[in-house]
Amino acid sequence: MGYRGDWEELSVAIDGVAGAGKSTIGRALAREIGITYLDTGATYRALAFQARELGIGEQDSDALTDLAVNQNLKIVDGCIFVDERDVSGEIRTPEVSSFTSKIATIGSVRAAMVSWQRSYAEAEGGVVGDGRDCGTVVLKGARLKVFLDADPVVRASRRNDLSLEDITERDLRDSTRSIDPLRVAEGAVIIDTSKSSIEESVLLLARLYDEENSKY
């Protein structure tokens, strides 16, 4: 890319509410600027999927933390592998979504997952990372930080696994949890995706990314 800086500075941190288009925009932006895409939410989903398979309950913080520390998780060409098994589709069910949002509130689980996410991003030389705490925790040193928002009704219409009631509940849980709550990172660009297309958002962010990195 020709830019000077370390892996975290060259990363893009995209946060936002459920159904705002983080994954779609993040994946497209990564292709546009030529770096790896990391869906941090998918890594939590993979953990939730493993826990359900193993019969670990959502309140068993010790077992969940141990699983997070020792999980065999890989990302290959955007696909999520657990113990060499592609679970990219299986982690998108409503049951896994619900379980994920609950175990993601456990501090020791989040610490283990953030460690894995940062190690992955460093090994890739930087990523476009999206989730709930990328700009505030996982990639807080990124030069470009983004927060995506959208009308709840619009967001519910985009998700097969979440109803409007689920969206409202998720928003409340994410924004009020005591560990790494969802919030707008300092200096983040805020985009309402109910008012702009995916293409417009990606082109805007690609331009901002170039502008930020041209300063160094």
pLDDT single digits (tens) 121-172: 999 999 999 999 999 999 999 999 999 999 999 998 988 878 899 899 888 8
173: in domain: yes
70: in domain: yes
108: in domain: yes
Full domain range(s) for residue 105: 12-213
Q: Record the tokens describing residue 197, joined without a space.
A: 């297309």
Model confidence, pTM: 0.89
pLDDT of amino acid 23: 92
164: in domain: yes
Q: How many CA atoms within 13 Å lie on the side-chain side of 43?
A: 32
59: in domain: yes
Radius of gyration of the chain (CA): 16
- Pairing type for strands 127-131 and 12-16 reads parallel
Q: Could you tell me which residues come within 8 angstroms of residue 192 by beta carbon, excluding any fewer than 6 positions away?
A: 149, 150
Domain containing 111 — which CATH number?
3.40.50.300
What are the angstrom distances between the C-alpha of 54 and each of 65, 72, 142? 14, 14, 36
What are the angstrom distances between the C-alpha of 166 and each of 1, 19, 149, 193? 40, 11, 16, 19
1: in domain: no
Q: Could you tell me which residues come within 8 angstroms of residue 215 by beta carbon, excluding any fewer than 6 positions away?
A: none
pLDDT of amino acid 162: 82
Q: Record the tokens describing residue 122, joined without a space.
A: 């460093």
Helices (H), the chain: 22-33, 40-54, 61-70, 94-103, 107-123, 152-158, 164-176, 198-213
7: in domain: no
CB contact at 8 A, 131 and 17: no
Residue 102 has pLDDT above 80, yes or no: yes
d(CA 105, CA 172): 12
Residue 95 has pLDDT above 60, yes or no: yes
pLDDT per residue over 104-131, tens digit each?
989 999 999 999 999 999 999 999 999 9
The structural domain count of the chain equals 1
5: in domain: no
Residue 216 has pLDDT above 90, yes or no: no
User: Of the candidates 38, 22, 27, 31, which has an alpha carbon nearest to the alpha carbon of residue 127?
Assistant: 38
